[in-house]
Amino acid sequence: MIEVRNISRIYYDTSGLPTEALLAVSLAIRQGEFLSLIGPSGCGKTTLLRLIAGLDLPQSGELLIENRAIEKPSHERGYVFQQAALFPWKTVEENIAVGLKARHTYKEKKSLVPEYIRLVGLTGFAKSYPHELSGGMMQRVAIARALINEPKALLLDEPLGALDAFTRIELQNTIRRIWSETGTTIVLVTHDVDEAIYLSDRIAIMTARPGRISEIIDVEINSRRDRNHDDFINLRRRALEKLHLAGEVYANVRGAGEAI
């Protein structure tokens, strides 16, 4: 569904010195799958997600969704940031409806707002304002705001990173349920290996900067995703080993054609 073909992204500081964020990255994301991107800090996970969203453009390579070039942001790729970024003067239902109003579809689709409030587990909070919500509840609003536009793909940029452990697990369960109910293709950026295993069909491990895809792991474990099950523990061990290798610095990492 989404194709990343040989993408490279370089940033320049004020003195003109380059920083290679991504180098020759290729990735195919399947229709309806849940794929997580993990890797060392600064490896370009968020850069890659922003490119898929159309919030940034590469220097080279191609980005496609259903064989169409990705050149700018679109409602067909919903994006949830690390911080919920809600409008503080709007209620939960008003925040969720923002995208509908921006696309001038609110009149015919406003009946969907209560359904998406239910979907993210916020029934009873439609009239609440952001300052009355917990961090986890605000992220639920942000997810509903992205989903109500019925995107082909939902892009999650570490939306659970700032939450406490209990809230994080609770919201992971909500995201799995939403994915199950909607069938939306989801791409998640996370630093949490357990989170990636619990949520994903596949995990793409990225190398240290410049970021490349080091390995893709299929999450072939029981559907309950029991964190204490031997299959889960063994997969965690394997992912951590691969992540450690991906974080090592190689002298030949700049060779676009060389395998790591």
CA 177 to chain centroid: 16
Q: What is the reported pLDDT for 256?
A: 37
Q: What is the reported pLDDT for 248?
A: 56
Instruction: Determine what percent of the chain falls in helix, strand and coil, rounding each to the nearest 5.
Output: 35, 25, 40
Give the predicted TM-score (pTM) of the model. 0.90
Q: What is the reported pLDDT for 247?
A: 60
pLDDT in tens, 161-208: 888 889 999 999 999 999 999 999 999 999 999 999 999 999 999 998
Q: What is the reported pLDDT for 252?
A: 36
- Band (254; pLDDT cuts 50, 70, 90): very low
Question: Distance (Å, rounded) from C-alpha 28 to C-alpha 200?
Answer: 15
pLDDT in tens, 132-173: 999 999 999 999 999 999 999 999 999 998 888 899 999 999
Q: In this prediction, what percent of the chain has a pLDDT beyond 70?
A: 93
222 or 7, greater pLDDT: 7
The answer to whether 239 touches 214, Cβ cutoff 8 Å, is no
- Band (102; pLDDT cuts 50, 70, 90): confident
DSSP 82: S
pLDDT in tens, 210-233: 999 999 999 988 767 888 888 999
Question: Distance (Å, rounded) from C-alpha 165 to C-alpha 101?
Answer: 35
Domains in the chain, start-ordered, CATH in brackets? 2-76+151-247 (3.40.50.300)
Q: What is the reported pLDDT for 7?
A: 96
The answer to whether 44 touches 22, Cβ cutoff 8 Å, is yes
The answer to whether 167 touches 136, Cβ cutoff 8 Å, is yes
Alpha helix segments (H runs only) across 20-68: 45-53
Q: What is the reported pLDDT for 242?
A: 86
